[in-house]
């Protein structure tokens, strides 16, 4: 009596919901630009510290209390990108250092966003 082994077919994973240039900056299916952020609260100045393949490092000049760092993060990204605060929203990560921001403006392309983030590091 041998048991037959069930052979399962390996199916390719579901297609990604975002068009990725690199995973730190991507475009979701609704056309919004998605920024994956690694926040570093409590810094002296709010600046972009690095742009990696997985996340964008940002030092935030606000303590991580009562949403102050999140507010400062949105203000900093809006200032760097030349947008209104209302065009940037915190999608995930209100109590985490890893955050996802949505850029709801159609004024900028992914390349323009990346360029402005890189230029702000100078």
Q: Give the tens place of pLDDT for each residue, 77-120.
A: 999 999 999 999 999 999 999 999 999 988 999 999 999 999 99
Residue 69 lies in a domain: yes
Residue 9 lies in a domain: no
Query: Is residue 20 pLDDT above 60, yes or no?
Result: no
Domain residue limits at 65: 32-120
Q: How far apart are CA 56 and CA 16, in angstroms?
A: 20
Q: How far apart are CA 92 and CA 77, in angstroms?
A: 15
Q: Which residues contact 1 (CB under 8 A, 6 or more apart)?
A: none
Average pLDDT rounded to a whole number, residues 17-41: 82
Residue 54 lies in a domain: yes
Residue 22 lies in a domain: no
Residue 25 lies in a domain: no
Q: How many domains does the chain have?
A: 1
Q: What is the pLDDT of residues 49-59, one digit of tens each?
A: 999 999 999 99
Exposure pattern of 105-119 as b/e (b: 16+ CB <10 Å)? beebebeebbebbee
Exposure pattern of 76-98 as b/e (b: 16+ CB <10 Å)? bbbebbebeeebbebeebeeeee
For residue 23, what pLDDT is reported?
86
Average pLDDT rounded to a whole number, residues 13-39: 75
CATH of the domain at 42: 3.30.1200.10
Report CA-CA distances (Å) from 46 to 8, 10, 70, 80, 81: 51, 46, 12, 10, 14
For residue 122, what pLDDT is reported?
74
Global pTM?
0.79
Q: How far apart are CA 79 and CA 82, in angstroms?
A: 5
């Amino acid at each position: 009596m041998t048991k037959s082994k069930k052979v399962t077919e390996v199916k390719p994973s579901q297609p990604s919901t975002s068009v990725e240039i690199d995973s730190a900056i991507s475009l979701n299916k609704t056309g919004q630009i998605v920024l994956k952020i690694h926040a570093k609260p409590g810094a002296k100045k709010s600046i972009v510290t690095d742009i990696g393949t997985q996340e964008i490092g940002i030092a935030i000049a606000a303590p991580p209390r009562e949403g102050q760092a999140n507010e400062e993060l949105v203000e900093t990204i809006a200032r760097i990108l030349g947008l209104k605060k209302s065009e940037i929203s915190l999608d995930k990560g209100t109590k985490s250092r890893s955050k996802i921001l949505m850029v709801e403006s159609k004024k900028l392309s992914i390349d323009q966003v990346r360029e402005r983030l890189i230029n702000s590091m100078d």
